[in-house]
Amino acid sequence: MTGIKEVKRFQEFLMNAWPAEQYYFLNGWILRFTKGVTYRANSVIPINYTGNNTFIENDIEMVENAYRSFNLPTIFTMHEYFEPKELDGVLRNRGYVEQDRTNALLMQAHHLDLKRINNDFNYEIHNERVNQFSALLTKFTKRDRYQQEIIKEITNRINVPKKCFVIAKWRGEAIGTLMGVLNPQNYFYIADVFVNPEFRRQRIASSMLKTAIKDWAILNGVEKIWLQVELQNFNAMKLYEDFGMKKVYSYYYLRKDRF
């Protein structure tokens, strides 16, 4: 089991890899606001709590008022060492509903087998989220063009970590995406892994990851690879476990709509 210090480090890594537009700090809690696009950028990170447990209800009410002012639901990201310890029970008693249990997986970069890349496809590496990257996700995923533009703004705010964007192509057409963020501690965070349904089961996702590691991350000093997978995404979980990735911590969201 990963300890409290390491889990809290990952929260810092994630916030730097997915920077919100606005922040507010309340007794150790970190509130993030980004036009309502993605839970990661619009939730409370209860990484520490320096307030008085007797007044936790008052602090939660202030949090709810803050999100209400942005016309957003209130969402808490509940990793394994949230503070204070009674927060989960208090939130559930206030009507919060659990959503999207997720595991964070980790492996040593040198343990990844970089062979067996499917060279029937071309793989481009960009230093920005180019239009083809966003357009493919707009076409096939639940986030529309406006939301993809907000996500592009989020990625443009990644300044301290290094970043790359991989596009898999077939006959000049984008058919796969992968984003990587390498922080100063040399942890490489993987996100936005997607393959056009017509091209799945051809090792494209694994080939994009291996290409990013071989042609970009190693050159930038990568040591560890990590990512997050919802427990219900069985195919992705199997893919990464087959790579040798292991669970380091888990989290879930507690959400309460504004009305």
Taking only the tens place, the pLDDT of each residue in 198-248 is 999 999 999 999 999 999 999 999 999 999 999 888 888 888 988 889 999
Report whether 244 contacts 227 (CB < 8 A).
no
pLDDT the model gives residue 1: 53
d(CA 193, CA 165): 10
pLDDT value at residue 243: 87
- In which band, very low, low, confident or very high, does the pLDDT at 17 lie, cut at 50, 70 and 90? very high
Residue 96 is predicted with a pLDDT of 97
Which domains, ranges and CATH numbers included, belong to the chain? 4-104+251-256 (3.40.630), 107-247 (3.40.630.30)
Residue 242 is predicted with a pLDDT of 87
- Report the share of the chain in percent with pLDDT over 90: 87
Task: Kindly tell me if the per-residue pLDDT of 109 is higher than 70.
Answer: yes
Note the pLDDT of residue 132.
95
Q: What pLDDT was estimated at residue 165?
A: 98
Which pLDDT tens digit goes with each residue over 138-149?
999 989 999 999
Q: Residue 176: is its pLDDT beyond 80?
A: yes
Q: Please, is 132 exposed, middle or buried when counting C-beta atoms within 10 Å of its C-beta (0-12, 13-18, 19+)?
A: middle
Angle of CA points 198, 101, 83, to nearest 5° = 145
* CA-wise closest residue to 66 among 27, 23, 96, 97: 23
The pLDDT score that the predictor gives to residue 158 is 95
Mean pLDDT along residues 1-7 = 81
pLDDT category of residue 259 using cuts at 50, 70 and 90: low
Cα–Cα separations (whole angstroms), residue 203 to 111, 158, 206, 210:
18, 29, 5, 10
Q: Is the pLDDT of residue 123 over 80?
A: yes
Cα–Cα distance measured from residue 161 to residue 209, given in angstroms and rounded to the nearest whole number: 18
- Are 107 and 224 a contacting pair, CB within 8 Å? yes
pLDDT tens-digit series, residues 45-93: 999 999 998 899 999 999 999 999 999 999 999 998 999 999 999 999 9
Residue 206 pLDDT: 94
Question: Would you state the pLDDT for residue 245?
Answer: 92
Query: What is the rounded CA–CA span in Å between residue 70 and residue 54?
Result: 27
